[in-house]
């Protein structure tokens, strides 16, 4: 009995769902960080929105960096 070698590598969530989840997770993490800083400074809603918008840019960069080889 012989073994077949499987040359495929695991995908690491390389599909569209993985990219979307990574983007949404980054947006939420940045918004939560903005909310935390805003709670300390007295402007939680404003800084949560700023963090959310910054999270879009950061998330797009992270998705591009992770999935650029596809």
* Per-residue pLDDT of the chain in tens (70 residues, 90 and over written 9): 565 555 555 555 568 899 999 999 999 999 999 999 999 999 999 999 999 999 999 999 999 999 888 7
* CB-facing half-sphere around the CA of 37: CA atoms within 13 A: 12
Residue 12 Ramachandran class (φ > 0 left, ψ -120 to 50 alpha, else beta): left
Q: What share of the chain is helix, strand, coil (3-state, %, to 5)?
A: 70, 0, 30
């Amino acid at each position: 009995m012989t073994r077949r070698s499987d040359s495929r590598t695991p995908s690491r969530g390389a599909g569209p769902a993985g990219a979307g989840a990574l983007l949404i997770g980054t947006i939420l993490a940045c918004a939560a960080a903005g909310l935390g800083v805003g709670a300390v400074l007295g402007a939680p809603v404003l800084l949560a929105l700023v963090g959310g918008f910054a999270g879009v840019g950061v998330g797009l960069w992270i998705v591009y960096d992770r999935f650029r080889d596809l």
